[in-house]
């Protein structure tokens, strides 16, 4: 169900190079969503003008089981919106509308999954990974995580810890552009898993083309642009 709520910023931290995590207090709202979904965030009082407006869409990085808070993540930039979001005092409120999106876990709890995430496209994948681990779902999950360098890889320590503690989760970090070789080496049988591609539009487009050229059925490819 689509809702519109007002909640405060309670935490802000740098989690990777030029990468900011914002934590919002959702403890009083009982805001429900599916892992992988996104919300529209509006700032009532902008500190800086932004020709693109006072709102953006953000995938939720936290698990739906985390009822007390909502986490979003973004690359730092000089846009008026992001500058405002990084400078608002704690306790300042933003407006959340949503949730939206079908970039969610498959209904079959035993389906194998490959996430191909570029940069902060890790957010919806992390939400799904956290939820799948918490709920002890049967998915075998492989994450192919692409960044320009390891310092830009948000949540990498947490993801490595998840891998160490879960025999059905595997992470493969890739520096630079995703290519056919990366995709081929990510799994033994390329036609078995459901593929999720999320990140910058060019990366997502390239990944979809590679998967289709390798013969992966279109109904096994899910994607979302950042």
69 contacts 27 by C-beta, under 8 angstroms: yes
Q: What are the boundaries of each domain within the chain?
A: 3-100, 113-225
In whole angstroms, give the CA distance from residue 6 to residue 82.
18
Give the SS3 label for residue 15: strand
Q: What is the per-residue pLDDT across 26-85, written as a single tens digit (0 to 9) for each? A: 998 999 999 999 999 999 999 999 999 999 999 999 999 999 999 999 999 999 999 999
pLDDT at residue 158 tops 90: yes
Per-residue pLDDT reduced to its tens digit, 206-223: 999 999 999 999 999 999
pTM for the model stands at 0.96
Q: Domain 113-225 classified CATH 3.40.50.1700?
A: no
CA–CA separation, 143 and 173 (whole Å): 8
Task: Please tell me what DSSP assigns to residue 28.
Answer: T
Residue written as token pair 């709202």: 29
Residue 127: predicted pLDDT: 99
For 87-108, b/e burial (b = at least 16 CB within 10 A) is ebeeebbbbbebbebebbbbee
The candidate with the shortest Cα–Cα distance to 125, out of 71, 201, 60, is 60
9, 72 Cβ separation under 8 angstroms: no
For residue 99, whether the previous peptide bond is cis, meaning omega lies within 30 degrees of 0, is yes
pLDDT exceeds cutoff 90 at 160:
yes
CATH (residue range 3-100): 2.40.30.10
pLDDT at residue 51, rounded to an integer: 98
Q: Crossing angle of helices 156-165/122-134, nearest 10°?
A: 30
Nearest-angstrom CA–CA distance, 182 and 77? 29
Q: Which residue has better confidence, 212 or 225?
A: 212
- Residues paired with 169 in a beta bridge: 141
Q: Is the pLDDT of residue 1 over 90?
A: no
pLDDT for res 225 = 84
CA atoms within 13 A on the CB side of 141: 28
Confirm if 129 and 156 have CB atoms less than 8 A apart.
no
Residue range 173-192: average pLDDT? 91
Are the C-beta atoms of residues 226 and 203 closer than 8 Å to each other? no
And the tokens for 218? 């279109």
pLDDT, tens digit (0-9, with 9 covering 90-100), for 184-200: 988 889 999 999 999 99
Over the stretch 105-151, which tens digit does the pLDDT of each residue have?
999 989 999 999 999 999 999 999 999 999 999 999 999 999 999 99
Contact 115, 46 (CB under 8 A): no
Calculate what percentage of the chain has a pLDDT beyond 90: 93
pLDDT at 172 (0 to 100):
96
């Amino acid at each position: 169900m689509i809702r519109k709520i007002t909640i405060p910023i309670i935490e802000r931290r740098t989690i990777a190079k030029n990468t900011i995590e914002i934590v919002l207090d959702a403890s009083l709202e009982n805001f429900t969503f599916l892992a992988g979904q996104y919300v529209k965030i509006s700032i009532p009082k902008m500190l800086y003008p932004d020709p693109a407006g006072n709102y953006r869409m953000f995938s939720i990085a936290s698990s739906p089981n985390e009822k007390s808070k909502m986490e979003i993540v973004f690359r730092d930039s000089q846009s008026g919106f992001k500058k405002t979001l990084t400078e608002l005092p704690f306790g300042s409120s933003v407006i959340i509308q949503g949730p939206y999106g079908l970039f969610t876990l498959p209904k079959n709890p035993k389906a194998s999954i490959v996430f191909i995430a570029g940069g902060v496209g890790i957010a919806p994948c992390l939400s799904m990974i956290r939820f799948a681990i918490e709920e002890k779902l049967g998915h075998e999950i492989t994450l192919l995580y692409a960044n320009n360098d390891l310092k830009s890889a948000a949540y990498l320590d947490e993801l490595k810890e998840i891998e160490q503690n879960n025999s059905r989760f595997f992470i493969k970090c890739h520096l630079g552009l995703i290519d056919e070789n990366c995709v081929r080496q990510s799994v033994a049988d390329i036609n078995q898993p459901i593929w999720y591609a999320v990140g910058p539009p060019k990366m997502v487009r390239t990944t979809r083309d590679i998967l289709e050229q390798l013969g992966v059925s279109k109904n096994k490819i899910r994607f979302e642009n950042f």
